[in-house]
Each structure stands twice: as C-alpha cells, then as structure tokens.
A and B are shown apart, each in its own frame.
Chain A
C-alpha cells in the first residue's frame, strides 16, 4: 500500500493516497470532482478550469484539483458558493457556442458536458448574439469524424496523439471562440490507435464512423470482456443489445481500464474486431453439407468417435483455458492425440512496441501451461496415421506454407467444431457450430502471463453450445467450469494457488509460467 494522508473534504475527514492529485485521490474514495481536460493517462493540463476547488487557509485559495497533490491536513471545499458559481460560469461559457444538438449526438447519454449541465448548471442561455458556426462532420481519417461546434477544447485528443501514439496529427488552431481542433492539411489521423480519441473525448466532438448513428448508448448493455484480437488480451467493455424482433448483437468494444495490461486504451483493430463476432457465423450443424438437428449431428460424431482408431484433436489457441483443459481430458478419455499447432495466427511484423502483438491468438500461453504440443512436427506425425481429425475452431492449414498438411488431410474424416464459416470448416464431414468468446464465460492468459476471467456477454436468440458443454455431451469427463478448475488446480502447478472466483476485474499475473 502506498502512503496515506488525511485531509478534510467539505468538513469530512478522508484518508487518501499521498502524492496523487486531488481528482484521482478523491475519486478513489468515491468523491467526484468535475473535470473535462484531465485524464489519468494523459496527465493534468489545467485548461478547462472545471476542477477548481477551494483550499481553506490555502495560498492560493482556489486551485485546479488536477494540478494539486493531496497533502496532509489539507482542507478541501467542493461545495462552497464560490466553487458552485465557478462551475456554473465555466459551463455557461462552454455552452455559448455549443450547438446543443444532443438529439442527434452520439455522445448523448454518456456526455460529460450533458451530465455536468444537469448536475451543476440547469441555466438558460443569456446570449443574444449569433452563435459562432464551425465545421461539422469533418473526416479526420482513421474512422474519426469530428464536429468542431461540439468541442470544448479540452485537448485530450491532441495530447493523446502527442503523448501516447507520438504521431501528433492533431492540434488546436486559432484563439478564443475561433479555436478549434484540426488536422494538418492532407495529413489525416494515421495511427493504429486513432479511435481512442473518440472514447477520450468528453463530449460528442469526436465520433466513430463505425458506430455513428448505429445505436443510442442508453440501450446498450455493457459487459466486461477480454479482446481476443491478439495475444495482448486487452480488457474491453462489450456493448451489446437485442433490438426488438431481432437477434442480440454487439455494437462496439470500448477499452476497459486495466493497469496490468492495456492501461486505458486499445488498438483500432481490436476495437473493430466485434464485427467478426456478428458476421459470418456458423449456426446450423451440418453432416456432409446437409443441415441436421444438433442431436443428429452429435450422434454422427459419436459414431465416428467409436469407430476411429487414431483420432486427432486440433485445438485453437483462441479457446479459453477451461475449454483447452476439457479438450485435453476429452482426448485422454478417447485415446486421442491433441495438437495446438496454428502458425496461421501469427502475423510476423504486425506487432508494435505498444499493445499490438504479432500473435493474433488470445490464449497461446495456456497451451504451454497445459502441456499441449504446438509443434508442426508433432501435428505432421499425428496426421500421418490419424483416421479422424476433430478440429476445435482451429484451421491450421490456411497458411500457404502448410500445403503439405492439407494434402495429408485428404481422405481423413474431419469434424469441425467451429464458430465461423471458412473453407476448411465448411468442407468438413461434420460441422458443429459453437459459441464464440463473447457468448461464453472463461479465462485466458495473455502473452505476459496475466490470467483474466470474463463472463458471458451476448445471449443469442438461438444459442449454440459452448465448446466445454459440447465436449461433455460427446463423452468428455469435464462437466462444467467448476470441474475444469478443480481438475486444473490439482494438475497444473501454476494454477494450484489460483481461486477462480477471486480473480479480479484486472486479472492476475501468474507466477511460474
């Protein structure tokens, strides 16, 4: 624990972390100080003046909270008439040229300006001169659409491109009521984290072309999840909704703060990867290309399993830890070999030194942890005499370099338990649709060895089984998540001390990987 200091807020004593600024320190004990420009990842800028607080007996008596470290004995006053007047005046100034087009603004419902107006101001406009008109619907590139009229000039987006991506595409030009955020002519946002400025923007000035006008935010259900876009495994919030008479679908991913992994941001590829969860999904079981009922498909798989002498199971490095363990136990039960080879998921040279990794699989460390062989030689040797291949959402043959493996697959009966359509899965003898990661609960281990748990977000109108249930229905010994964890804690040493119910929202770093 860091050092604590005692200070008084509105006459009540609180104990907060020493050294942190007042906004962060008081937020930790549930006291909110209004602010536009301050963001924990971007530091204090002090330009919005919304966080001004009174320090009793202090010199100076009124200070911006974002620039003031919490100190012992400090007497902070948030509710004095003077502070309330400052807050009202700041809001009135921000709203002078604001178009107040909340009905068409995507930010409405999660807008700081809207919330603060309702909380602190509620005043009518006193202006009788025409509003300053600025440009709307500016394409800033990178999928960002900018509305200069809604901007409060907090500069978060500018600081993001300067401090975080170090690309500096954005700047504030002109002064006073002509000031506006702009890009340099012909130099649009060009980095792989650009859509973070949409999330950073406290108002609706930055909108995402992808999410623009798709759904009002108050309809969205927000479930914590883990991005499966690459090996970083960023913490995300899955915003999903079931419209009347339609199926549940995901509308957007947002970054979820996680100090162990991604901080406050996620990459654009990960942010837009929700499309993959909505589209191109397998829904009906197929036997030799003919749609069948789930029961018929399971019976067909059981028959094949009963006849097979040398079954081989190929697991995906995207499967959750519990599913991989269940698959491993399933293979023990049926005397099958298990391989986790999937070179196709690695895009060499795609990663960077921030969040994006070359490895596009979310859970590869779990394969090593459970001792599942991932080598090409092992798969090649197993394929050499296998008479039945069951792939659990892994298509190891997409890579051009693996043409010889595809050649060996010819003539072997293939069963695909898969989430999405692809050539390999669609041509399998039996296709069993399974739930994708937004539709089940599980755990993944990222490339730094951080174990995260996530819950089930989306419930489809016609849910397809989760892999763990499916393997159990096919005679696998692991019945559910509880059984998987009980087994893993005895069999896998680094998980021995892990209580799955005590893994917090930020996950935990596993020792001894």
Chain B
C-alpha cells in the first residue's frame, strides 16, 4: 500500500510574518471578535454548567470499579488474582479465603483497590474470567479528602451499582 503524501506548506517564514507585530494584531483581532460577539449574546457559548449539569458519558466509559453479584446476591469474584496479576500499576490487593456457601470454592476475604494508583486502563475488567469486576459505575469523578478515602475495600466495591441499564441486561 502506497503511503499518501501530503505536502504541508510551512508558514511563518515571510518578512511580514517575521516582524511578529502584524501577526499579533491579527491574533488579537480574533480574540476581540469573539469577545464582542459574546458580549452581545452569550447563549451560544460552548460551556457546560458542571457540576449542576452532568456530562453524558458512553456506557463504555471506564469509570470507577465495582464488583458484581450473582443474581442471588452472592459475590461473583472467586479471588483468582487475574486482575491483580494483570494490573500494570499494581493497585489491586486481594486476600483469598475458603468459600463455604457452595457457590464456589474460593472468595476474596479482602479486595482493595487504591484509586490513587489506578490508571483506569481496564485490564482488570478484561482479565476477569467471572465478569466480576467492571468499570461501568459511570462514576468518572473520584474525589476524596485523604489518601485513605481513595482506597476502596470489598464492601465499597460490592455496594456500588452499575451505572448503565444495558449492562444490567447482560447480567441475566
């Protein structure tokens, strides 16, 4: 396949451009035009009144993590450590234990995600053989007032519901 070559014209080399002053005035012209237009009527400004108005994000957005449940309300995670093994920032820390409720043999006793270390790459979701960890909470703004606030434990992860109805369908 032949590469398509597009010649780009180099700007900024002529005498008038080298003077800079004319270019500065032209640039200011653009700014002043916008200023005057918005001064008359600002209804067309490209601004969202965040946080009063939330942005619409797609269901494929990689937001904050959650751990999913079986339809009967039991934990899906079997503590196989695939997410922890694949995590490039090593922000997942699991402790496994024997599971005695008959659903599986193994379950997490602790499941910790340090959101300060997480890079939201989604490898944990891809690695999970149980579809137990997802990033579909729709929570894109993760804030906290201390380092400890940013560390999610098993209970936090299980308590967060999914943010998108179409994903809930996949649960069935």
Contacts and interface: CB of A to CB of B under 8 A. Distances in A.
Interface string A200-214: 000000000000111
A500 B78 CA distance: 48
B62 interface: no
A56 interface: no
- Main secondary structure on chain B at its contact with chain A? loop
Nearest to B80: A103
A110 interface: no
B64 to A, nearest CB: 20
Contact of A213 (B82, B85, B96, B130): B96
A243 interface: yes
A216 interface: yes
A243 B106 contact: no
B81 interface: yes
Contact of A101 (B85, B93, B105): B105
A102 to B, nearest CB: 8
B80 A104 contact: yes
B98 interface: yes
A244 interface: yes
Interface in A97-156: 101-104, 136-137
A137 B78 CA distance: 16
A101 B130 CA distance: 11
Interface string A175-214: 0000000000000000000000000000000000000111
Contacts of B78: 103-104
B85 A104 contact: no
User: Which of A101, A104, A136 is packed against the most chain B CB atoms within 10 Å?
Assistant: A104
Interface string B85-117: 100001001001110000011100000000000
Nearest to B91: A244
B79 interface: yes
Q: How large is the interface on B (under 10, 10 to 19, 20 to 34, 35 or more residues)?
A: 10 to 19
B12 interface: no
Contact of B85 (A136, A212, A218, A243): A218
A5 B31 CA distance: 89
A244 B130 contact: no
A203 B1 CA distance: 50
Contacts of B96: 213-214
B128 to A, nearest CB: 9
A244 B97 CA distance: 18
A244 B90 contact: yes
B85 A216 contact: yes
B129 interface: yes
Contacts of B90: 244
A245 B117 CA distance: 13
Interface of B: 78-82, 85, 90, 93, 96-98, 104-106, 129-130
Given A101-B105, A104-B79, A218-B85, 11 more contacts: A102-B80, A103-B78, A103-B129, A103-B130, A137-B105, A212-B98, A213-B97, A213-B98, A214-B96, A216-B85, A243-B93
